Amino acid sequence: MRHHERGQVFPLWIGAIVTTFMFAFLALNYANTVRWQIRAQNAADSVAQGLMALQAERFNEVNVALYGTGVEEYRIRHLLDGILTAANDSGGCAASYDPSLWNNSSSYTSGFLPGTCSRVYDDLSAEFVASLNRYTNDAKLLNDYSNESTYANWTNDTSLLITHMSNSTHCNNAGQSIAIVDGTDCKFQYTILAQAQRTGLLAVQQDAQNILVPGLGRTSTIGPDLENKGLFAPAKIDIAACQLIPPVIPNFGALHFVQQYAIGRAAATTVQFEEDWLQPGAIYDPAGRPVDTLFQPDEPYSEFVPGTDSTESYNWYGVNFGGNAAVAYVNYGAFDEPTYVNEYSVRVGWWNSIAIKPFAATPSVASICPAS
């Protein structure tokens, strides 16, 4: 090789190195764009379901308050029955005669056991007042939860919360950091594209016992549904999340990164994801201590000694929540639901937020993204 031919490949190396850096620049910024786009979609998903969780949580609170008021009402009714029974010297509290105690004396009390009706009356009266106070508190909670659960209040609260979520002052100054405030990525601007009542339930109009979904204008055997459709209607919401993407490397020589927006779109609604038929007094609380604790076990409120016949074996001074449990016949694919005593049964549906397909019109970038 002659001396003047040395170094001829050096320009090729320079070109290869420059090309490599150029592709690395493009790859880094493309990966950054994808990362922000995924982050935008996650942000939109979490906010949409989070806003619907407001309604789901309030519906569930109403159910809990309804259960509490129902238990107290059932308890109050039985306590009143016991009070009236004791006031009339009935139910086993009256004085009774025991021949084994007769001592052949001239006293008219010989052989009689003293009655306890006065003490039973006092015991049940005190429990009645306590139960009435609990019922009053539970009814107040139910009223408060119901007022907060209306569709109008939900739309107002979502507007306030979306404004809070879109406040950039919640985030720190690190452009790449994932700042999570109040359960959402505060780096994004959030926009409510649409929110509405979800009335298109199709076949899910009524449950197994022909009870209609309220507020949808259905007609049952007892007449049309005239309830306020805006009171407790399930809702749906459509959300957009947007953020101007900060480049990893803004410039590489003559190459410049064109700023782009990362946009996420999501929608959600509330549904009853579980329906329970509770039979207090018959089913066990899995979290109870001890583990065999019943939901609403029998509640004796005064001394009671069972008699010998069937009428005297019933405790008129306590509260029995029933316990008419179903009996399954596996071989026949059926079950029997006998009713032996009065019971307190509850059918309740628990709510949750789920993702659905976006339903609003496609928005313009200018309407959902902050200014560059």
278 has which bridge partners? 346
Question: How confident is residue 194, by pLDDT bands cut at 50, 70 and 90?
Answer: very high
- For position 255, what pLDDT does the model report? 60
In a domain, 186, yes or no: yes
Q: Are residues 259 and 134 in the same domain?
A: yes
Q: Are residues 298 and 151 in the same domain?
A: no
Q: Are residues 138 and 33 in the same domain?
A: yes
Answer for the pair 195, 237: CB distance below 8 angstroms, yes or no: yes
Q: Are residues 53 and 72 in the same domain?
A: yes
In a domain, 205, yes or no: no
Q: Are residues 238 and 157 in the same domain?
A: yes
**More reliable by pLDDT, 23 or 347:** 347
Work out the average pLDDT over 104-121.
65
In a domain, 210, yes or no: no
The string of pLDDT tens digits covering residues 149-161 is 888 899 999 998 8
| Cα–Cα distances in angstroms (integers) from residue 86 to residues 83, 91, 279, 342, in the given order | 5, 7, 29, 20
- Non-local (6+) Cβ contacts of 150 within 8 A are 230, 231, 232
Q: Are residues 167 and 297 in the same domain?
A: no
In a domain, 19, yes or no: yes
Report the C-alpha gap between 59 and 232 in whole angstroms: 8
**More reliable by pLDDT, 268 or 6:** 268
Q: Where are the beta strands (DSSP E) in 73-179?
A: 96-97, 112-113
The string of pLDDT tens digits covering residues 195-213 is 988 865 543 444 444 455 5
Answer for the pair 123, 302: CB distance below 8 angstroms, yes or no: yes
- For position 137, what pLDDT does the model report? 95
In a domain, 23, yes or no: yes
Residue 104 has pLDDT above 80, yes or no: no
Residue 139 has pLDDT above 60, yes or no: yes
Q: Are residues 43 and 79 in the same domain?
A: yes
Burial track 176-205 (b if 16+ CB lie within 10 A, e otherwise): eeeeeeeebbbbbbbbbbebeebeeeeeee
Report the C-alpha gap between 98 and 136 in whole angstroms: 44
Among 100, 125, 124, 127, CA closest to 113: 100
Report the C-alpha gap between 115 and 68 in whole angstroms: 35
The residue written with tokens 């001394």 in the block is 303
Q: Are residues 147 and 31 in the same domain?
A: yes
**Domain span including residue 325:** 280-302+319-344
A 10 A CB-CB count for 359 gives 14
Q: Are residues 149 and 241 in the same domain?
A: yes
Number of domains in the chain: 2
Q: Strand 219-220 to strand 189-197: parallel, antiparallel, or no bridges (unpaired)? A: unpaired
Look over the chain and give the mean of its residue pLDDT values, rounded to a whole number: 78
Report the C-alpha gap between 197 and 344 in whole angstroms: 33
- For position 302, what pLDDT does the model report? 83
Q: Are residues 323 and 261 in the same domain?
A: no
- For position 297, what pLDDT does the model report? 87
Q: Are residues 240 and 336 in the same domain?
A: no
- For position 233, what pLDDT does the model report? 78
Question: Token pair for residue 210?
Answer: 């022909």
* Phi-psi label, residue 118: left if phi above 0, alpha if psi -120 to 50, beta otherwise: alpha
Question: Token pair for residue 236?
Answer: 């749906």
Residue 136 has pLDDT above 90, yes or no: yes
The string of pLDDT tens digits covering residues 306-364 is 655 555 577 888 898 887 777 778 888 777 777 777 888 888 889 999 999 999 999 99
